[in-house]
A and B are shown apart, each in its own frame.
Chain A
Amino acid sequence: EDKVVQSPLSLVVHEGDTVTLNCSYEVTNFRSLLWYKQEKKAPTFLFMLTSSGIEKKSGRLSSILDKKELSSILNITATQTGDSAIYLCAAGGTSYGKLTFGQGTILTVHP
Chain B
Amino acid sequence: KAGVTQTPRYLIKTRGQQVTLSCSPISGHRSVSWYQQTPGQGLQFLFEYFSETQRNKGNFPGRFSGRQFSNSRSEMNVSTLELGDSALYLCASSLQGAGLNPWGWKGNEQFFGPGTRLTVL
A residues touching B (Cβ–Cβ < 8 Å)? Answer: 31-32, 34, 36, 41-45, 48, 50-52, 88, 90, 92-104
Contact = CB atoms under 8 A, between A and B. Distances in A.
Contacts of A42: 4, 90, 112-115
B105 interface: yes
Interface of B: 4, 31-33, 35, 42-45, 47-50, 55-56, 58, 90, 92, 94, 97-100, 104-105, 107-115
A50 B105 contact: yes
A88 B104 CA distance: 21
A97 B111 CA distance: 11
Given A41-B115, A45-B111, A102 B42 contact: yes
Contact of A94 (B47, B92, B104): B104
A92 B94 CA distance: 13
B99 A96 contact: yes
Contacts of B112: 36, 42-45
B interface, by DSSP: helix, strand, loop or mixed?
strand
Given A43-B112, A96-B98, A99-B92, 7 more contacts: A44-B112, A88-B43, A97-B33, A97-B48, A98-B33, A99-B45, A102-B42
Given A97-B33, A104-B42, A34 B97 contact: no
A93 B104 CA distance: 9
Contact of B108 (A36, A44, A88, A99): A99
A97 B90 contact: no
A56 to B, nearest CB: 12
Contacts of B113: 42
A87 B73 CA distance: 28
Contacts of A96: 31, 48, 50, 55-56, 97-99
Contacts of B31: 96-97
A101 B107 CA distance: 16
B114 A93 contact: no
B109 A97 contact: no
Contacts of A51: 105
Given A42-B113, A50-B105, A98 B43 contact: no
Nearest to B44: A101
B22 to A, nearest CB: 15
